[in-house]
Structure 1
Amino acid sequence: MKEKFTIVFQPYGRRITVSEDTNLLEAARSAGITLRSVCGGKGGCGKCKIIIQKGEVQFNYDPKEKLLTDEELNDGYVLACLSFPKSDCEVFIPPETRLEGQKIQMEAKIPKIIPEPVVKKVFVKPTQLEERAGNQLEKILHLVGVESFPSHVEEKLKAMPTCCPEGATIVIRRYKGEVEVLGLEEGNTTDRLFGLAVDIGTTKVVAYLVDLITGEVLGYESSYNKQLMYGEDVVSRIGYTMEKEDGRKKVQKAVVDTINELISRLTSKHQVGKDEIVDVCAAGNTVMTYLFAGIDASPLLDPGAKIPVNSITLDSKSVGLYVHESAKIYCLPCVSRFFGGDAIGDILVSGMHKSPKISLLVDIGTNVEAVLGCESWFVTTTAAAGPAFEGWGIRFGTRAIEGAIDHVKIDPVTLKAEYTVIGDAKPKGICGSGLIDLLSEMFRNGMVDSLGKINTELKTPLIREGIDGYEYVVVPAEETAIEKDIVITEKDIANLIDSKAAACSAIGILLKKMRLSVYDVEQVFICGAFGNYLDVNSAIAIGLIPEFPNARITYLGNGSVAGAYLTLVSAKYRYEAEEIAKLTTYFDLLKDPDFMDEYTAAYFLPGKKELFPTWWAASRKIKRS
């Protein structure tokens, strides 16, 4: 019989009893605590650091992996995913491991539109059925536009003078020529019509509660996607669905539970009944859409996989959402295994599908999505930029949580970093926008060369030799929340250059395919949670995105939830979304013969001369000694 032990997790004070073959990452999940785990608990990322304060664990760690420093090992640090209890334990979760307080982009630029929802209500007076019930029923059928009512609705209508003395409201759904009766409500409820727009992100979920009569957003809420407990990236989550019994159901339930929590918050705050939410629209990348829908996502791991280019409609009752029992869930269409409904939402809200101007849309995250086109055509691709911008592979990298450095400037005289921190807290690490600023500032000030090597000839104690080569001290230990120097190393810089090269080469490939130059692009749209905090000048300086001399740059915010909103409030945007999906040609970089050439050319700062017409020349004049 397997021995069981009690684990106490501090600073939360939560305790749980687990068997000896349960690792501490799984134990934390069971206790309702989500730790950072980019690799999904496979011992590859080194982010689930914890400190064993009491008790004994079996730590299956190979020091050659160098996921922990000697100092951390001496201080009692272990990786939760590789640690199994051998006694009762008390565990401390350090600030850098806690997945909480992330700055989530909820706001979006939503154009004003005339509401034309697919769900509407029709009020029926009780007097209409008092005489000649059969004939009146036919008149109501004609009024509503359906051939017949569900039996339970018809029975209620016939009994309405008795059971509904004030009349009743029929809830109907019209889309693509089909009309469906969703239900019958007592009295006149035609002024109570609500919907939910949802952005299902890999990391976070955002929900808008919308008045479908006026189009007004009553409120929005956000939360971490509970699927994070099964891995921070989509591949880890697909792996879980394949490896574990009922894995697909568990992963689906995790995101449904997340959305239900947001629904509960929104309905409570705005005095709306959950059963008054009669329509739901959701946007997410292809994997997130499949996992939410309960569809097998394992085929998406195949580079040659082709998917149906159409929207998905689900029954809310079968999914388990806390909304009207007959409500439908409309998922925006996906184009390829890496180009999903979230990107279609971005295009919808940008309006580039209605403009003759050549436009580029970029969504930067773990995956970079790039769309080039205008009203009559779109070409798109995605690049695995890697999770460096999310903090993986960067010693002091982190997500955009409280305590993350989000912007950096370096004094050109003292070479000391000046920074801002999310939440005005002491710094714990550096998030994506901060890393881009930091590398840009180091390059501008001659602290790194075009290959990302740190300039050791500069006379400053802030540049020193460390365990991963030379490093620059961004924040001294006494100013941090973690009581360690926060540094950026040459190894970190190499990972950042790798990520930025993938992003830039994806855009370069699209321009090359369409025989366009950076001068031809007239509009650039930057979207996504990460993009909203991005300093575009820093991004250009390191070659993350090309320099577009003639383009107007617009930040869209959360285009995914905005796209879901548009399709929720107006049926015509569903038709537009599906038309965009059909007009889109996807290029798979893994199969493109030009990709490696573009990628190699982007593997220095800033990148190819043709993509950086003014900044490339200026960067060559910077003194580096």
Structure 2
Amino acid sequence: MSDRISVTFVSTSGKHADKTVQIPRDLTILDAARYAGINIEATCGVRGRCRSCRVKILKGAIPPPSVQDTVQLGHDEVLEGFRLSCQTRMLDDSTVAPMPPKTEEGHKILEAHDSMMDADEFHLDSGITKITVTAKAPVEEHHQTSDVEEILVTISDLAHHNVPIQCMRKIPPILRKENGKLTVTRFNGRIIDVEAGDTTNKLYGFAFDIGTTSLVGTLLDLRTGEQLASAGGVNAQAVYGGDLMSRIAYAQFDEKKLTTLRAKVINQVNQYIRECCEEAGVDSEHVYKIVIVGNSCMHHIFLGIDVSYLGLAPYAPVVRENLVFPASDLPLKAAPNAQVCMLPIIAGFVGADTVACILATRIHESEEIRALVDIGT
């Protein structure tokens, strides 16, 4: 008897084409689905405690039901060939149809695209500034200078003279276009981008809330605070566990699984950046700041930080302070010139999303006792 079997997945919803994979006999149907690139949700973290990963076995020998199958699916569905894919190992070559319950896909999470800013209440300061300068390319051999120096000398209030290597690579042709007129973009005084011509009116940013259940992103004009577009949906990691502790249990002490979870959220953020920029007619290279919040678990997974000990007493995060990275470090390829800002974590699972709520509501400025309630997952 062969130690491998063939499992064919057929779609009842049209979401994917039929796919067949060869797997070792000791793998579950859920494992086979992931090999095939088919997302089947397992919101309980592959513990047989929910119905989200149920499938129907259409062809092949149907394995006897487990206790979890009977408890979660009931006698009637078990007789009809339904099984929990996270608990079931096939006996021979089989055809299976994923039959998950309805998910939250398609739910509209954000609606308004209006400006959030009130000139009387807010002062918008993203730390991103753009200035137009005119610099001359070096022309005399006896004048010891460089392209970068010729640009820096035109900026009177430059706080940092370090120019990123990606900017240096762009400078030679830019400096020799449009008679040396160019736009320099800075973050907290540090140069982060250089462009030919005047692009000072193109200044955009994103705000992302990475929740355990849902993920939402909003594109904003950093000059006015206007919301230009938004995108949101179920957090793509949900197929590996629907709640925070299930997500931690999946990745605990397993670097490969942590990488899998991280790839899901990085890809989703990149996707939403592209979607919003396309909707608003914005070049994603003009996205210069991305602020991201989430609970401590989502924060760590996004950064690829081990969550193993976050799930154990005393539930201490690896880092709590505000963090800033170039998008290329993560990488968020959809916004190559952006600075990514992670708001600080408070303690335990009280994360940066709570800090964002405090800042948005200004509850900390109130002289009265107030309660801030965030009912999540």
What is the TM-score when the length of structure 1 is the normalising length? 0.53
**2:344 and 2:365 mapped to 1: Cα distance?**
18
Contact residue 334 and residue 340 of structure 1 kept, 8 A: yes
User: Which secondary structure does the structure 2 equivalent of 1:214 belong to?
Assistant: coil
1:124 to 125, 129, 133: 133
Matched, 1:251 2:261: yes
CA drift of 1:103 comes to 2.4
Aligned-residue offset at 1:62: 2.0
1:236 aligned residue: 246
Residue 14 of structure 1: how far off its partner (Å):
3.0
Q: Deviations over 1:245-295 (max 9, x none)?
A: 522222111110111111121122222222221111001001000110111
Partner secondary structure for residue 360 of structure 1: coil
For 2:276 and 2:217, the matched residues in 1 are separated by 9
Could you tell me which of 67, 73, 97 is aligned with 2:72?
67
In the other structure, the counterpart of 2:366 is 355
Q: Quote the residue 2:8 is aligned against.
A: 7
- Deviations along 1:355-412, one digit per CA (max 9) or x if unpaired, are 212211111134xxxxxxxxxxxxxxxxxxxxxxxxxxxxxxxxxxxxxxxxxxxxxx
The alignment status of 1:295 with 2:296, answered yes or no, reads: no
2:343 pairs with 1:338: no
Change (3 A) 1:210 1:185: same
Whole-angstrom distance in 2 between the partners of 1:243 and 1:155: 41
Please tell me whether the aligned partners of residues 55 and 97 of structure 2 are also in contact (alpha carbons under 8 angstroms).
yes
Label 1:137 to 1:111 Cα distance change in 2 as closer, same or farther (>3 A): closer
Q: Deviations for 1:566-605, whole angstroms, at most 9, x for unmatched residues?
A: xxxxxxxxxxxxxxxxxxxxxxxxxxxxxxxxxxxxxxxx
Query: Conserved in 1, the CA contact under 8 Å of 2:136 and 2:150?
Result: no
- Closer, same or farther: CA 51–65 of 1 in aligned 2, 3 Å: closer
SS at match of 2:372: strand
SS in 1 for 2:89: strand
1:196-215 superposed matches below 5 A: 196-215=206-225
CA offsets per residue over residues 122-178 of structure 1, 9 Å max, x none? 21124698898958545324243333434664686577552453611111110xxxx
- Alignment match, 1:42: 47
Residue 23 of structure 1 corresponds to 28
- Quote the residue 2:63 is aligned against: 58
- Equivalent residue runs for 1:92-107 within 5 Å: 92-94=97-99, 97-99=101-103, 101-107=105-111
User: What is the CA–CA distance in structure 2 between the aligned matches of 1:239 and 1:224, rounded to whole Å?
Assistant: 20
Query: Does residue 115 in structure 1 map to residue 129 in structure 2?
Result: no
What does residue range 369-384 of structure 1 map to in structure 2 within 5 Å?
A: none
Q: Pick closer, same or farther for the CA change 1:122–1:145 going to 2, 3 Å.
A: farther
| Letter of the 1:21 counterpart | D
Per-residue deviation, 1:4: 3.2
How many residues end up aligned between the 2 structures? Answer: 361
| Larger Rg computed on CA atoms | 1
Change (3 A) 1:276 1:14: farther
What does the per-residue CA deviation read over 1:462-495, in whole Å, with 9 as the maximum and x for residues that have no partner?
xxxxxxxxxxxxxxxxxxxxxxxxxxxxxxxxxx
CA contact (8 A) 2:175 2:182 kept: no
Contact 1:278-1:323 at 8 Å conserved across structures: no
Alignment of 1:567-582 (within 5 A): none
Pick closer, same or farther for the CA change 1:215–1:130 going to 2, 3 Å.
farther
* Aligned counterparts of 1:152 and 1:36: Cα–Cα separation in 2: 40
Q: Which amino acid letter does the alignment assign opposite residue 259 of structure 2?
A: K
In the alignment, the residues of structure 1 paired with residue 346 and residue 208 of structure 2 have an alpha-carbon distance, to the nearest angstrom, of 19
CA distance in 1, matches of 2:324, 2:231: 23
Which one-letter code corresponds to 2:4 in the other structure? E
Letter in 2 for 1:283: V
1:222 CA drift (Å): 1.1
Structure having the higher helix fraction is: 1
Partner of 2:156: 142
Measure the CA separation in 2 of the matches of 1:41 and 1:264: 32
Question: Does structure 2 conserve the Cα–Cα contact (< 8 Å) formed by 1:36 and 1:99?
Answer: no
CA distance in 1, matches of 2:376, 2:169: 53
Distance (whole Å) between structure 2 residues aligned to residue 269 and residue 89 of structure 1: 43
TM-score w.r.t. length of structure 2: 0.85
What secondary structure does 1:321 align onto? Answer: coil
CA positional deviation for 1:36: 3.7
Structure 1's 147 and 7: CA in aligned 2 closer, same or farther, altered over 3 A? same
- Residue identity (%): 26
Q: Flag the 1:245–1:188 CA change in 2: closer, same or farther, 3 A.
A: same
Q: Match for residue 288 of structure 2?
A: 278
Per the alignment, do residues 244 and 296 of structure 1 end up closer, same or farther by CA in structure 2, a change over 3 Å counting? closer
8 Å contact kept, 2:285–2:335: yes
What is the CA distance between 1:210 and its match in structure 2? 1.1
Contact 1:240–1:247 at 8 Å: present in 2 too? yes
Supply the distance in 2 between the matched residues of 1:152 and 1:266 (Cα, whole angstroms).
Answer: 25
Q: Distance in 1 between matches of 2:69 and 2:229?
A: 50
Compared CA separation, residues 30 and 224, structure 1 to 2 (3 A)? farther
Q: Within 1, Cα distance between the matches of 2:151 and 2:135?
A: 12
Q: Per-residue deviation at 1:234?
A: 2.1
Question: Contact 1:5/1:88 (CA < 8 Å) preserved in 2?
Answer: yes
Q: Give the conservation status (yes or no) of the 8 Å contact 1:5–1:86.
A: no
**Root mean square deviation of aligned Cα:** 2.9
Q: Which amino acid in the other structure matches residue 5 of structure 1?
A: S
| Aligned partner of residue 105 in structure 2, secondary structure | coil
Deviations 1:72-99 (A, max 9, x none): 21222211111223334333344x5243
Change (3 A) 1:145 1:55: same
CA distance in 2, matches of 1:275, 1:289: 24
One-letter amino acid matched to 1:86: L
- Is the CA contact (8 Å cut-off) linking 1:34 and 1:99 kept in structure 2? no
Offset of residue 300 of structure 1: 1.0
Per-residue CA deviation, residues 292-348 of structure 1 (Å, 9 max, x unaligned), is: 011111121222243444222233112121344342211111111210111111222
Does 2:232 correspond to 1:222?
yes
Instruction: Answer yes or no: is the 8 Å Cα contact 1:59–1:82 preserved in 2.
Output: no
Of 362, 365, 370, the match for 2:376: 365
Question: Aligned partner of 1:105: which letter?
Answer: I
Report the equivalent of 1:91: 96
Q: From the superposition, tell whether residues 168 and 49 of structure 1 become closer, same or farther in structure 2 (CA, over 3 Å).
A: same
Could you give the per-residue CA deviations for residues 175-194 of structure 1, whole angstroms, max 9, x where no partner exists? Answer: xxxx3211211211111111
